[in-house]
Amino acid sequence: MAPTLELAAALHQAVLDDHDALAATLARLREQTQSGDYAYYTDIASSMAGIALPDGHTPPHWLDGEQATRTRWCTLVTTRQHHLHQ
Protein backbone atom coordinates (compact mmCIF):
# COMPACT_ATOMS: atom_id res chain seq x y z
CA MET A 1 0.00 0.00 0.00
CA ALA A 2 2.90 2.39 0.69
CA PRO A 3 3.89 2.83 -2.99
CA THR A 4 0.29 3.71 -3.85
CA LEU A 5 0.21 6.37 -1.13
CA GLU A 6 3.54 7.74 -2.34
CA LEU A 7 2.16 7.96 -5.87
CA ALA A 8 -0.83 9.94 -4.59
CA ALA A 9 1.55 12.22 -2.70
CA ALA A 10 3.59 12.70 -5.87
CA LEU A 11 0.47 13.79 -7.75
CA HIS A 12 -0.36 16.33 -5.03
CA GLN A 13 3.22 17.64 -4.96
CA ALA A 14 3.39 17.88 -8.75
CA VAL A 15 0.16 19.89 -8.81
CA LEU A 16 1.55 22.22 -6.13
CA ASP A 17 4.90 22.37 -7.99
CA ASP A 18 6.67 21.39 -4.76
CA HIS A 19 9.99 20.18 -6.17
CA ASP A 20 11.68 19.43 -2.85
CA ALA A 21 8.83 17.30 -1.50
CA LEU A 22 8.46 15.59 -4.86
CA ALA A 23 12.16 14.68 -4.97
CA ALA A 24 11.88 13.12 -1.50
CA THR A 25 8.74 11.23 -2.51
CA LEU A 26 10.40 9.91 -5.68
CA ALA A 27 13.38 8.71 -3.64
CA ARG A 28 11.10 6.83 -1.26
CA LEU A 29 9.09 5.43 -4.15
CA ARG A 30 12.23 4.15 -5.89
CA GLU A 31 13.32 2.48 -2.65
CA GLN A 32 9.91 0.88 -2.08
CA THR A 33 9.74 -0.51 -5.62
CA GLN A 34 13.28 -1.88 -5.94
CA SER A 35 11.91 -5.43 -5.95
CA GLY A 36 10.12 -4.68 -9.21
CA ASP A 37 6.62 -4.61 -7.72
CA TYR A 38 4.91 -1.39 -8.77
CA ALA A 39 8.15 -0.15 -10.32
CA TYR A 40 6.12 1.63 -12.99
CA TYR A 41 4.86 3.99 -10.26
CA THR A 42 8.19 5.81 -10.43
CA ASP A 43 7.65 6.30 -14.16
CA ILE A 44 4.16 7.66 -13.54
CA ALA A 45 5.34 10.03 -10.80
CA SER A 46 8.21 11.28 -12.98
CA SER A 47 5.81 11.77 -15.87
CA MET A 48 3.36 13.76 -13.76
CA ALA A 49 6.17 16.11 -12.73
CA GLY A 50 7.79 16.29 -16.15
CA ILE A 51 11.01 14.85 -14.71
CA ALA A 52 13.33 12.86 -16.94
CA LEU A 53 13.93 9.26 -15.98
CA PRO A 54 17.42 8.41 -14.69
CA ASP A 55 20.07 7.22 -17.16
CA GLY A 56 19.96 3.49 -17.62
CA HIS A 57 16.34 3.26 -16.49
CA THR A 58 14.29 0.80 -18.51
CA PRO A 59 10.73 2.11 -18.77
CA PRO A 60 7.80 -0.28 -18.85
CA HIS A 61 6.14 -1.12 -22.12
CA TRP A 62 3.16 1.25 -22.29
CA LEU A 63 0.31 0.32 -24.63
CA ASP A 64 0.31 3.72 -26.35
CA GLY A 65 4.06 4.23 -26.13
CA GLU A 66 6.17 6.07 -23.61
CA GLN A 67 5.70 9.62 -24.91
CA ALA A 68 1.90 9.41 -25.15
CA THR A 69 1.72 7.98 -21.64
CA ARG A 70 4.04 10.65 -20.19
CA THR A 71 2.01 13.36 -21.90
CA ARG A 72 -1.26 12.05 -20.45
CA TRP A 73 0.09 12.00 -16.88
CA CYS A 74 1.58 15.47 -17.27
CA THR A 75 -1.72 16.75 -18.69
CA LEU A 76 -3.51 15.45 -15.61
CA VAL A 77 -1.29 17.66 -13.45
CA THR A 78 -1.54 20.77 -15.64
CA THR A 79 -5.32 20.42 -15.88
CA ARG A 80 -5.56 20.22 -12.09
CA GLN A 81 -3.24 23.23 -11.71
CA HIS A 82 -5.40 25.19 -14.13
CA HIS A 83 -8.54 24.23 -12.19
CA LEU A 84 -7.01 25.34 -8.88
CA HIS A 85 -5.91 28.71 -10.25
CA GLN A 86 -9.26 29.73 -11.70
Q: What does the pLDDT look like over 41-82, one tens digit per residue? A: 999 999 999 988 878 888 888 999 989 999 999 999 999 999
**pLDDT tens digit string along 19-29?**
999 999 999 99
CB 6 within 8 A of CB 32: yes
The pTM assigned to this predicted structure is 0.89
Distance CA 82, CA 52 (A): 23
CB 46 within 8 A of CB 26: yes
36: left (phi over 0), alpha (psi -120 to 50) or beta: left
40: nearest Cα among 74, 66, 72: 66
